[in-house]
Amino acid sequence: MDFEPSDDQRLLVESVTRLLNDTYSFAQRKSYMALPQGYSPEMWGKFAELGLLGLPFAEEYGGFGGGAQEIMLVMQAFGRVLVLEPYLPTVVLCGTAIDAVGTAEQKRTLLTAIAEGSLKMSFAHGERQARYDLNDVVTTAKKSGSGWVLDGSKTVVSHGEAADKIIVSARTSGDRYDEDGITLFIVDANAAGVARRGYLSRDDTRAADLSLSNVSVPADAVLGEVGKGFAVIKRVVEAGIAATAAETVGAMEAMNEMTLEYSKTRVQFGSPISSYQVVQHRMSDMFITQEQGRSMAMLATIAFENPDEAERERDMAMAKVGIGQAGRYVSQSAVQMHGGIGMTEEYAVGHYFRRCMVIERLWGDPAYYLDKLAAEVA
């Protein structure tokens, strides 16, 4: 066991951090938010130049052959500045799905395009009625000639408007809750019958509801095996849990640093509030929680590469509970320690708070996973 990053990993973190230090101050971030896309296409290009967009892909697809650990390090750095660009949906979620079950041709065209920065993707799985249940899919795909026709709707698709292509899950057989019979399709975002209704999410990024009516896709739009999409979706979610756990760690670090700085400058009753033990102990608790959360993000990263499915699912669930609770505690405390200024839109801490809140409910909140763990107590 060895928790030290390798030299290569250290270099990766350094170069990402250097880039973000130059380009991602809170004021700069605000200017990216104001752009039509809600993020900076220029930054996307810089991520491509740095090799971040192909980080987890094989070299033959323009990638760097990195793994879960590299994603963890990058996401942690992203979390520190609340990166707005569609890295999670494109590289982590869709990248994982294509990498896992794509045909050689799909990998060659799609992964290469992602790595060079010319393709942005979204993963459209969640449906309004499903809440967190991954198997609850009512969007349908019916065979039509050699291709398929999709009908239904998807909700809160992260960066759905910005995506050039969207991976859509649809039921090709079975009933509403069946794990079997779910198939993944790669759909052109501009295909006839695809309507996207975009909106701002609480974390300052854009999301969209997707409606699909009579959308025709060719046979080679199928990603993976027909009817066997559920396992892929679970894999994608595992990648997402590990990545957002790391992002939460970065966000917690930033909030704790901000809180400490603020406590040293904010004078009340004649002294900086950092001199009061009640404030010191709260900040110590925030540090303890951050470190416990970091351990959980590491657990998710370890688990992602564990071939034992039962163990992997259990560790992922534990990590999801732990990181969600940690992010909630630190962000609530950070706002509290800042007092009134922490409540304002103009100040950064509230934006971290809201990103943690959004992450907490991606693919299931702590209560949801605690339920799963509770079911296994024996």
Partner 1 sequence: MDLRFTPEEAAFRQEVRDFIKSALPADIRDRMKLGHAPRKEDTVRWQRILNQKGWATYSWPKEHGGPGWSAIQRMIFLEENLMAPAPELLSFNITMLGPVLIQFGTDAQKSRFLPRLANLDDWFCQGFSEPGAGSDLASLKTAAKLDGDHYVVNGSKIWTSTAHNADWCFLLVRTDPNARKRQEGISFLLVDMKTPGITVRPIISIDGSHHLNEVFFDDVKVPVNMRVHQENKGWDVAKFLLGNERTGIARLGKSKERLRAAVDMAKQVNQNGRPLINDQTFRQRVAQLEVDIKALEITQYRVVSAYDKAKGAGKPDPLSSVLKVRGSELQQYTTELTVDVAGPMATPIWAQELAALNEPDDMLEAASAGTGSYLFLRAASIYGGTNEIQKNILTKAVLGL
Least distance (Å) between residue 2 CB and partner 1: 5
Least distance (Å) between residue 362 CB and partner 1: 18
Least distance (Å) between residue 273 CB and partner 1: 11
DSSP string, 305-370: T---HHHHHHHHHHHHHHHHHHHHHHHHHHHHHHGGGGG-TTSSHHHHHHHHHHHHTSS--HHHHH
Residue type, 306: N
State which residue, 176 or 281, has the beta carbon closest to partner 1.
281
247 contact partners, CB below 8 Å, separation of at least 6: 75, 76, 78, 79, 88, 355, 359
36 contact partners, CB below 8 Å, separation of at least 6: none
Least distance (Å) between residue 114 CB and partner 1: 25
C-alpha Rg value of the chain to the nearest Å: 21
Least distance (Å) between residue 111 CB and partner 1: 24
DSSP string, 70-93: HHHHHHHHHHHHT--STHIIIIII
Q: Which residue has the tokens 């500045």?
A: 81
What residues make contact with partner 1 under the rule CB under 8 A? 1-6, 9, 69, 260, 264, 274-275, 277, 280-281, 283-285, 287-288, 291-296, 298-299, 301-302, 315, 318, 321-322, 370-371, 373-378
Choose among 215, 105, 119, 109: nearest CA to 170: 215
β-strand partners of 271: 268
β-bridge pairing 222-223 and 206-217 = unpaired
Q: How far apart are CA 319 and CA 46, in angstroms?
A: 31
Least distance (Å) between residue 9 CB and partner 1: 7
State which residue, 38 or 66, has the beta carbon closest to partner 1.
66
Least distance (Å) between residue 375 CB and partner 1: 7
State which residue, 2 or 345, has the beta carbon closest to partner 1.
2
State which residue, 45 or 272, has the beta carbon closest to partner 1.
272
State which residue, 9 or 37, has the beta carbon closest to partner 1.
9
Least distance (Å) between residue 341 CB and partner 1: 20
State which residue, 138 or 302, has the beta carbon closest to partner 1.
302
State which residue, 98 or 279, has the beta carbon closest to partner 1.
279
β-bridge pairing 222-223 and 182-188 = antiparallel
Q: How far apart are CA 55 and CA 63, in angstroms?
A: 5
State which residue, 27 or 377, has the beta carbon closest to partner 1.
377
